[in-house]
Every structure is written in structure tokens, then in C-alpha cells.
Amino acid sequence: MPTKLIKAFDLYVMSPKIAIAVSGGLDSMVLMNLAKISKKIKSKNIHIIVIDHNLRKGSKEEALFVKEEASKLGLRSVILTWKGKKPSSKIQETARKERYNLLFDYCKENQISDLFIGHHLDDQIENFIFRMFRGSGIVGLTSFSNFSKRDGINLIRPLIEIPKSNLLLFAKKQKIKWVEDPSNLNLNFDRIKIRNTLQNFYDSGFDKKLFLKSINKLKSVNEDIDFFAESYVSKYIEIHENIFVSIRKEFFIKTPNEIQMRIIKNCIRLFAPNNLYSPKDTKINNLLKWMKNNSNIKAKTLGGTLFRKKNSEILLYKEVKNLNNVKPIDISKSEFKCWDNRFLIKANKNLNGKISYLGPEGVKVLKSKKIDINKAKKNAPIAAVYSSPAIWDKKRLISAPIFDYYINNKVNIEIKKIGYML
């Protein structure tokens, strides 16, 4: 049993530095101990991240418990606290979203690409049932996978096909301590109701491995759809410098509806990557109906993305009002920094400037320098140009690298566009 779990963990250790989300529960405490046992990664390169949601009494003590256990293993750890107003409804869903935001922000700040999560097979089955009752499509039903990419971070679940009972045996043998989350007994949460119902099935001899077999078949179908989607993207869609996307109207006539849905969702992820969950299918369907008809309404917004009809195309780009939510970051000479999950940027020399969006003020500077923005970037909508990256030293524009603008010839900004499969 220990060898099987260690092999499952080692299979996904692909980077020299990783982060592990640890709540103090059985699954994440087992995952932390597997990381310590593993010969594939050094202890000094393992970051244990604990999230204190501060939603109930005792959460701080549980976070400190994890920190102490990590210290016993010789692992570094950090406690991140969810601050701000707490919700009165959809508590678990909102807490999950905030948890991932904190986890991803930490990984980005510490240049960690791989985030390990302790979900197991029971979680995968529970998630499938939960999403089925929510009316999810095939993407949602198969969303729990060993490896996925969100918000520019590799999300890795090495234990996703291992039953919780196996983790329990391992924990007892290794004398691993863990805490029980009291919210797991709260029947006001839909997930807990599903969990308890599934337990009755398990007690009656329900075979989890057969359920896993069915889920994996659906995952295979989902991958096949993604494969076919690529041909439609190459034929009807063009990504312009990661600042806007153009979709030919024939796409909405000649492309199967399921492929239309997932491509539009992925476009939204490109321009609003901080939204962990995509808009509901009903909203996507309503948007597709608008794209196909002859409505006098020329533009709509969904999920932080603006959709605009223009001649024989639909143009997509980031909503201007969301630009202020994009955090400026320091520019580096030694390494590429990820900005807005669309660009990797670094400088050829040390600069005091920060990477932020170009905005209206930056466009004014470019125009004053006689730079033809439309000619340079295939008639990009001006609002899309606002969302392009720029280097600012306070209110002074140092560079707009996409438009080959630099304040002097000694400054050179190297930029790479992050690739997305729409």
C-alpha cells in the first residue's frame, strides 16, 4: 500500500519546486507525508500552503496544527487567511473560489508552477454526482482530473483514483495525525447530503472502481471533442497578440453546438482567468443565440469578456472596467514574470517600472509618438488595445512592447504570449 501511494505521488513530480495545499484533513495530511517520503523532490523545495478561511471557531488552531506537523517533517509552511466580508449564502462554493485564488496567488508570487491537491476517488465520485444534479455538461462532469491547468498553474491531484479507505490505512500505519472538519456533518450543505447518500451505497457493496471506469470513459470522450475542436479553431478563429480574438460568423453555422460552447468558455478564460468557474451553460447558450441572430444589439458582456459584432466577425476582448482588477507586478531582468495570465515579460536591464495595462493614457502617449496602432495590430478595437501590457514608472510610460515602443533604445523588453487552446 505505501509503495502504491508513493508511486502515485512520484508520477506527477515534474518540477524542482512544488506547492501542496494542506487543510489538516486526512487526504491532504497523507499527501504532505508522501511528499516528505518521496525521493523525487527535496524537502527544501516543498511549500506547504494552509488556508484559514476564518469562517468558524477553531480554524486558526487547525491551521497552526498543520504548520506544526509540517515543521516536524522539516517542511516549510505558510498560513494564508481569507480576509474581508464573509458570505451568508453559497458559503462552501465561495470559500472554495477564494481558497484557490489565495493558492494561485502564492504560487505565482513564488514562481511555483505545480500545485498539488489531496483529492481522492471518493471526492471524484462525489463531485460527479454533485455536478450531475447541477445540470453540468460533459466538461463539468469530468472536471476532476489528475492534471489540469487553471489560472496559469498546473493543478495536480495524484491520489484522484485512490479510494479514501486506502489513505486511511496508510495514515494509521504511518501514525499520521489529522483533523476532522465539523462542516462535514452539516446537512445544510448539498455536498454533505450527497456524501452521506453515497456512503449508504458503499456500505451496500457499491463498487467505486466501476464508477471510476465510467468516469474515465467520459473523460476519453471529452478529450476526443477537444481534439476535434482544434480543427474548428484553426479554420474560423484567430487570436491577435492575446489582446483580442476574432471569430468568423461561419463558425456559428458550421460548428457543432458542444464545440461552440467549450470554445466560447475558453475564450472567456483567456480574458478573465481569475474566474475559476465558467459562466453557466444557459448564459453561454443565450450568448450564442445573440451571435447567430440579426439583433440590433451590437455588443454583450459575459464573464469579464466583451463580445462585439463587426461585419462578418465577432470580436472578443477584455472588458475595460475590469482592467483595474489586474494587479501591476514588478518587472525582472533575471526571469520572465507572468502578467494577467496572457503574457510573460522581462527586461534587458534593471528597471523601477511595473508591468500593468496600457490603458487610455498609454494610447495617448503612443498616438503622440505617431504610432499607427490600427496598422500595427490588424485594426484591434481600441478597448482591446487598452488591455495590452505596458511598463510604467509611476505615470511615465517606459514601454509598450506589443507596439514596439520604448522610451529609449537602451531599454529592451522581451515578451512571450502564453498559448491557449481555445
pLDDT tens per residue across span 218-266? 999 999 998 999 999 999 999 998 899 999 999 999 999 989 998 998 8
Claim to verify: residue 277 and residue 351 sit in the same structural domain: yes
Same domain, 164 and 276: no
Per-residue model confidence (pLDDT) at position 333 = 84
Is 267 a domain residue?
Answer: yes
* Structural domain boundaries, residue 232: 222-422
Please give the grid coordinates belonging to residue 406: 520604448
Chain segment 108-163, per-residue pLDDT in tens:
888 899 999 999 999 998 888 888 887 788 888 888 889 988 777 899 999 999 99
395 burial (CB, 10 Å; 0-12 / 13-18 / 19+) is exposed
Contact 113, 156 (CB under 8 A): no
**Residue 373 lies inside a defined structural domain of this protein:** yes
Place of cell 466583451: 306
pLDDT at 286: 93
Q: Give 54's Cβ-side CA count (13 Å radius).
A: 10
Question: Does residue 214 fall inside a structural domain?
Answer: no
Indicate whether 163 and 39 sit together in one domain. Answer: yes
| In a domain? residue 287 | yes
Residue 292 is predicted with a pLDDT of 87
Is residue 261 located within the same domain as residue 388?
yes
**Which of the listed ranges 54-58, 297-301, 331-335 does the model predict with the highest average pLDDT?**
297-301
Percentage, residues of the chain above pLDDT 90: 50
Q: What is the dihedral of CA 145, 205, 164, 3, to 10 degrees?
A: -90
The winner for highest mean pLDDT among 26-40, 181-195, 326-340 is 26-40
Pairing of strands 237-240, 299-302: unpaired
| Same domain? 171 vs 247 | no
Q: How confident is the model at residue 170 (pLDDT cuts 50, 70, 90)?
A: very high
Tell me: pLDDT of 422 over 60. no
CA distance 141 to 132: 7
pLDDT of residue 270: 86
| CATH number of the domain where residue 120 is located | 3.40.50.620
Question: What's the whole-model pTM score?
Answer: 0.74
Please state the rounded mean pLDDT for residues 311-332.
89
Q: Evaluate if residue 199 carries a pLDDT over 70.
A: yes
Predicted confidence at residue 293, as pLDDT, reads 85
Residues 40-94 pLDDT 10s: 999 999 999 999 977 777 788 999 999 999 999 999 999 998 876 766 667 667 7
Our count of domains for the chain comes to 2
- Regarding whether 131 and 239 lie in a shared domain, the answer is no
258 with 197, same domain: the answer is no
Percent of the chain whose pLDDT exceeds 70 = 92
235-238, long-range: CB < 8 A, 24+ apart: 237/263, 237/422
pLDDT at 188: 62
Nearest CA to 50 out of 93, 12, 81 is that of 81
